[in-house]
């Protein structure tokens, strides 16, 4: 029994560390994007894309906004796609996001100065930090509990 608790504690610890690393990586990417320069761009198409994904024999209907936009950096023109797959970050419905990016709208396009074809329309996202923190605390508590039970058992 002790070996199982030890393995569980180790698993919870490793999961928590990977979660922290993933959160740090996501924050780092968003922090870098906030410093990207921007140019004016134009929305070309703004639609709600519907996909059917099969999850173990059960079809799941997924709807997410897909925005196609064009912009120019120096003399080169680019076309890019912004796909809003994780709607929880935006706290808006697909319809609200499509309405926020109507065709023909002029807006700022943030681009990577080292690779201008890499771009985004939005450099600030609503990341549910509290959710990540609570999950990390739960994993930490479970790992401490497992290790405590292993090392205090007689």
User: Within 13 Å, how many C-alpha atoms sit on residue 83's CB side?
Assistant: 6
Shared-domain flag, residues 78 and 28 = no
Shared-domain flag, residues 20 and 41 = no
d(C-alpha 112, C-alpha 35), whole Å: 9
User: Mean pLDDT over residues 103-117, rounded?
Assistant: 94
Between 20 and 28, name the one with better pLDDT.
20
Shared-domain flag, residues 95 and 106 = yes
**Angle between the 2-33 and 129-152 helix axes, to the nearest 10 degrees?**
160
Shared-domain flag, residues 83 and 112 = yes
Does residue 2 carry a pLDDT above 80? no
Shared-domain flag, residues 132 and 113 = no
pTM over 0.85: no
Displacement of CA 115 from its chain's centroid (Å): 21
Question: Per residue in 34-84, pLDDT tens?
Answer: 788 999 999 999 999 888 877 777 878 878 889 999 999 999 999 999 877
Shared-domain flag, residues 134 and 74 = no
Does residue 6 carry a pLDDT above 60? yes
Shared-domain flag, residues 46 and 109 = yes
Q: What is the mean pLDDT of the chain?
A: 81
Smallest CA-to-CA distance from 103 within 70, 64, 61, 138 is with: 70
Residue 88 pLDDT: 54
Q: Which DSSP symbol is given to 105? A: -
Residue 113 pLDDT: 93
CB neighbour list of residue 43: distance below 8 Å, 6 or more residues apart = 67, 68, 69, 101, 102, 103, 104, 105, 107
Smallest CA-to-CA distance from 16 within 138, 147, 136, 141 is with: 136
Shared-domain flag, residues 72 and 5 = no
Tell me how many domains the chain contains.
2
Question: Per residue in 122-143, pLDDT tens?
Answer: 765 555 566 667 777 888 888 8
Between 30 and 96, name the one with better pLDDT.
96
Shared-domain flag, residues 108 and 145 = no
Shared-domain flag, residues 45 and 112 = yes
Shared-domain flag, residues 63 and 130 = no
Domain that holds residue 56: 37-123
Domain containing residue 67: CATH number: 2.40.50
Shared-domain flag, residues 46 and 93 = yes
């Amino acid at each position: 029994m002790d070996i199982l608790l030890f393995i569980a504690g180790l698993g919870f610890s490793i999961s928590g560390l990977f979660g922290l690393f993933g959160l740090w990586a996501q924050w780092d990417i968003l922090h870098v994007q906030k410093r990207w320069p921007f140019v004016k761009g134009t929305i070309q198409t703004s639609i709600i894309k519907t996909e059917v994904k099969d999850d173990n024999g059960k079809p799941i209907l997924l709807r997410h906004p897909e925005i196609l936009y064009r912009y120019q950096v120096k003399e080169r023109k680019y076309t890019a796609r912004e796909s809003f797959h994780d709607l929880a970050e935006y706290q808006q419905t697909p319809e609200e996001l499509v309405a926020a990016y109507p065709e023909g709208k002029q807006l700022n396009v943030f681009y990577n100065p080292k690779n201008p074809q890499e771009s985004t329309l939005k450099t600030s996202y609503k990341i549910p930090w509290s959710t990540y923190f609570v999950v990390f605390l739960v994993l930490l508590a479970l790992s401490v509990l497992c290790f405590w039970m292993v090392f205090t058992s007689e």
